[in-house]
Structure 1
Amino acid sequence: MLKHIKLLCCISLGIAMAGCYKDKGNYDYIDINEVSITSDSSAVVVLQQDTLRINVQLKQSMPDAAGLTYEWVFYAANGTPQERRQLGTGKNLTAMISEKPGNYNLDYFVTDKKTGVSFQKRFSISVESAFGEGWMVLEENGGTTDIGLVTRGKKIFKNIYSTSNKGQKLPAGARDISIIQYRGQEIYILSPADMVQVDYVDFTKIKRFDQFFYDAPAPKPEGNYLLGGSDKVMYNNGLVYTASTVLPPPYTFGLPLIGAGEGPYYMEPYPIYSVSEGKFFYDRISQRFFRAGPYDIELSPCPQFDPAADAYNMNNIGKKLLYAEHNVTDMHNLLFKNNNNDSLFIYVLDAGIPNPAVAKYDVTGLPGLLGADHYRMSKTLTYLYYSNGNKVYKLDILAQTSTLLYTFPAGTQVADMKMYFNWKDFDDADNDRLIGIATNEAGHGKLYYFPLAVTGNFEGNTYRTVFDGFGKINGIAYKSGN
């Protein structure tokens, strides 16, 4: 019996081996074209809104006349790649990157047309912000306004806002850039009938005017500031709205400050404040100052005039306020014009002491000052820089003298002047010692850098750098690093 079992096992094993040998002989193997993909690097860094360029080298084991197809697919590295974008269909890649800063995957597919077999290589792409630091430029072309940026590396990016917001342009007449440095960087663009906040990294739109209020008034934004380190202040159509940053965000404006019981007010949109004494406001209607503490909801009169201690009566100025800006410590310099439009005065207000009215100067008759159109206060010396048409002057407030610093070509109009300060680097040698001046001349805009000498004059009596090729410039501001 055992012999029979052994015999059956041997026969079965022989049949199985014969079947395998026969099956092996039935397969017919076909060689395919294998493609190997190499490149200089699989990890690439690119700036946002810059061009990503990748060149590859391909080797084929069996090239065919049918050729190859190519596809480059881009998507976020974190999470499920729900949003995938085809960047190109050529062998090498040249593509504009508009995605937000972050880490991305880029899959490169090469497909053999004859066999349909695909080969893949993955690239790791790091998109960095191109807009971390530089001069922002509000540029108008064809009736629409957008944002340009001149980087520290002197590269110019154009149409940043529309590129980051699916082609949408800024509100009509956008004229001013307001930057608040508070727990990060906040950027606001003001126009006659709107104000938008944009992301400081990629300039995507965050809010429009009505979203800053519990109950939004008719929009006429005139100024947006952080005062005293804790209060956000919005000037809109002469009214003053405040929001305390002591409370958790979002910081939303409520009702305007209540007047001091003497009728309606219209406050000029200039920030005058100190941490110790609060905020000061100048009323266009009554031509006098009012004040408010950090948590006040009502305006109050200023201290009663004391001839022995005060240089002027803050409750009875009787002049038009043309400009006001912080100088040093809590000092503010204010330029007034009398109601006959023929005399000019500088009033000095120290917002950090109980009797703020510390000095006044008659600056009537100084060249170009009566018809000046832009002003900028020094942050280190008692100098006020101002422009009139194509000329830029320095007003020495204490000496009550004026010096012509620079004359642009005939027909040039100064569009804006801003002092440079880099909040990311307090040791930057140009901090408070360089003025950016934007001009419109011969139908196009320019941006100039003027470094300041220790005398307050322009170094070498000229500019350091100029950037051309802009449309009509409406405003500029320096954006510090993130």
Structure 2
Amino acid sequence: MKPLLIITTLALLIVAGGCYKDKGNYAYVGIDTVRIDYDAAGKAFTVLQFDTLRVKPVIIQSAGSTEAVLKYEWSARLIDPSSASQQFPVTVLSYRRNLDTAVNLAPANYAVTFKATDTVTGISSYLFYTVAVTSSFSEGWLLLEQIGGVGDVAIITSSGKLLNKAYSQVNGVSLPADVKKVDVSSLLSPKEVYLFSENEGIEVSPVSFARIKSFNNWFFYPPATQKPQVNTYLVEGYANCGVAINNGLVHIRRFGGFPPPVLYGAEILLDGKSGYRMAPAVLKGNFNASLYLAAFYETTGKRFIGLRGATYGLDGNLVHFSAPDAAAAFDPDNVGMDLLYMGASREANIYNAVMKQGSDAYLLQLNLNVAQSARLKQKMNAPGAADLTAAVSSLQLDYIYYSFGNKLYMYEIGPNTASLIYEFAAGENVTTLTIDPERSATELLATTWNGSTGNAYQFTLDITGKPENNTYIRKYEGLGKVVSTRYKAK
């Protein structure tokens, strides 16, 4: 009986306690809420590589709170549905509220995440964007420069924007300080881009500019001496031939009907020997039997040498030009002068070559037609031509543009006269002149160097061959010493 009484009493006390009204005075604090949203620009963007991407998300917080307690992170991850593994590395773009940063990502599609974290509550909110990064290298001028003790490439895009140090930005390392030539095999699809220094040659992606091949990848058996000078192509229909010059020696590779890899073989011999040395230029003909496939200037014998060979043969032959007839302007096999410049004229298969003999400059025109090779030889009535620093032939008129110091001249072949068409600032000497058919026959790019900084100038040429309004249309500053330029079209 006693135990039952005790249990009943305890139960009544519990019930009574449950009916007691708590008269305490408590203050409840609400958790700060953060809401983020897309602004009017939306959530899908397209940006050129190395251009600045700007995104400003909308952030809404509950009353009384401040953005000072928030921390931010913008990150990007590659989107590649074709990849078996979807585990791509995450790249942090910024830790700021608004994204305002140069995009150094390789051209591709990316998922970009914006994360806003309340440092008091630890709660994070997210926005998700898609960003298409397109190539800044799809089209533009490539400027190979020596800058700050290293080599690099600057790019002038087709829209006129200058991108400095493009190679080192993409690859994380610079080029050697003794860079000397940039070249583009524009006849191939996709195009190939080559960069040469004194003892190294590399190929970079025409889309991302990332390094993809080196000198050794071009040969079945790489030459013992690596001094790359030229890597180019001759293309006609389905007959393709690669031509390389390394340490003055010619190598070829043939495309069409052969299984890969298609690489360069050993150097071609001249008269059964490899003692010749070609200048770093290729005069391109074609596979027509009446033309030389290509021609070179051989610097030890000071003569032109031709390249012949069957269209689909693996071999090629370096041959001497035929003895000239009485009407020939000169003997291509016995020029006897030093080469200053050699390049294409406005006429197919006709090439201009500026030579030096003593203190005089001579113009020779070489026709790649086997039967009519020596077209013209004349002593140039052109001030400073024997000491020119750069030259390029007009692609619309019978002119040659050349520079001497800080002066730009236009040499007219027919009347054999030269005129000063532009003068740069004192001490600002011209380093390169380029008219590239991939760009326009009416655009001339000139680069200069004053001993400490380099500039690039774009000229538009009028119907008389002179710069429109006697001046440049655009100037780019802050370059290194530009040693070579080429235009890369899409």
Fold in common (TM above 0.5) = yes
Q: Is the Cα contact below 8 Å between 2:295 and 2:306 reproduced in 1?
A: yes
Greater CA deviation, 396-405 or 368-377? Answer: 396-405
Deviations 1:10-48 (A, max 9, x none): xxxxxxxxxxxxxxxxxxx99755432112211122221
Amino acid at match of 1:256: E
- Structure 1 residue 242 displacement after superposition: 1.1
Counterpart of 1:312 (choices 330, 333, 346) is: 330
Counterpart of 1:432 (choices 427, 436, 441) is: 441
Q: Tell me how far apart the structure 2 counterparts of residues 441 and 343 of structure 1 sit (CA, whole Å).
A: 27
Q: Tell me how far apart the structure 1 counterparts of residues 181 and 466 of structure 2 sit (CA, whole Å).
A: 26
- Structure 1 residue 325 displacement after superposition: 1.1
Determine helix, strand or coil for the equivalent of 2:167: helix
Determine helix, strand or coil for the equivalent of 2:168: helix
- Matched residue, 2:245: 235
Q: Is the Cα contact below 8 Å between 1:270 and 1:323 reproduced in 2?
A: no
Counterpart of 1:382 (choices 390, 394, 398) is: 398
Amino acid at match of 2:426: A
- The root-mean-square deviation of aligned C-alpha atoms, in Å, is 2.4
- Structure 1 residue 211 displacement after superposition: 2.1
- Matched residue, 2:308: 293
Counterpart of 2:278 (choices 267, 282, 295) is: 267
- Matched residue, 1:413: 429
Counterpart check, 1:321 vs 2:327: no
Counterpart check, 1:75 vs 2:94: no
Deviations 1:421-440 (A, max 9, x none): 346xxxxxxx1111100001
Counterpart of 2:192 (choices 186, 190, 203) is: 186
Amino acid at match of 1:302: F
- Matched residue, 1:363: 379
Determine helix, strand or coil for the equivalent of 2:175: coil
Determine helix, strand or coil for the equivalent of 1:299: strand
Determine helix, strand or coil for the equivalent of 1:316: coil
- Matched residue, 2:419: 403
Counterpart check, 1:46 vs 2:34: no
Q: Is the Cα contact below 8 Å between 1:415 and 1:438 reproduced in 2?
A: yes
Q: Tell me how far apart the structure 2 counterparts of residues 90 and 324 of structure 1 sit (CA, whole Å).
A: 54
Q: How many residues end up aligned between the 2 structures?
A: 441
Counterpart check, 1:254 vs 2:265: yes
Counterpart of 1:349 (choices 366, 371, 374) is: 366
Alignment of 1:126-145 (within 5 A): 126-145=132-151
Counterpart of 2:354 (choices 335, 340, 361) is: 335
Distance 1:474 1:121, change over 3 A: same
Counterpart of 2:202 (choices 185, 196, 202) is: 196
Counterpart of 1:221 (choices 228, 235, 241) is: 228
Distance 1:42 1:363, change over 3 A: same
Q: Is the Cα contact below 8 Å between 1:260 and 1:298 reproduced in 2?
A: no
Q: Tell me how far apart the structure 2 counterparts of residues 261 and 448 of structure 1 sit (CA, whole Å).
A: 46
Greater CA deviation, 90-99 or 442-451? Answer: 90-99
Gaps of 5+ in 2: 1-27
Distance 1:53 1:258, change over 3 A: same
- Matched residue, 1:177: 182
Deviations 1:176-220 (A, max 9, x none): 211111112211111111111111122111122222222222111
Q: Is the Cα contact below 8 Å between 1:393 and 1:405 reproduced in 2?
A: yes
Amino acid at match of 1:439: T
Q: Tell me how far apart the structure 2 counterparts of residues 262 and 141 of structure 1 sit (CA, whole Å).
A: 40
TM-score in terms of structure 1 length: 0.85
Q: Is the Cα contact below 8 Å between 1:311 and 1:357 reproduced in 2?
A: no
- Structure 1 residue 83 displacement after superposition: 0.5
Distance 1:76 1:472, change over 3 A: same
Q: Tell me how far apart the structure 1 counterparts of residues 273 and 113 of structure 2 sit (CA, whole Å).
A: 69
Gaps of 5+ in 1: 1-28, 424-430
- Structure 1 residue 95 displacement after superposition: 3.0
TM-score in terms of structure 2 length: 0.83
Q: Is the Cα contact below 8 Å between 1:75 and 1:81 reproduced in 2?
A: no
Counterpart of 1:392 (choices 404, 408, 420) is: 408
- Structure 1 residue 322 displacement after superposition: 2.4
Q: Tell me how far apart the structure 2 counterparts of residues 472 and 33 of structure 1 sit (CA, whole Å).
A: 58
- Structure 1 residue 119 displacement after superposition: 2.4
Identity of aligned residues (%): 30
Deviations 1:363-417 (A, max 9, x none): 2453111111211011122211111111111121222221221121221211111
- Matched residue, 1:18: none
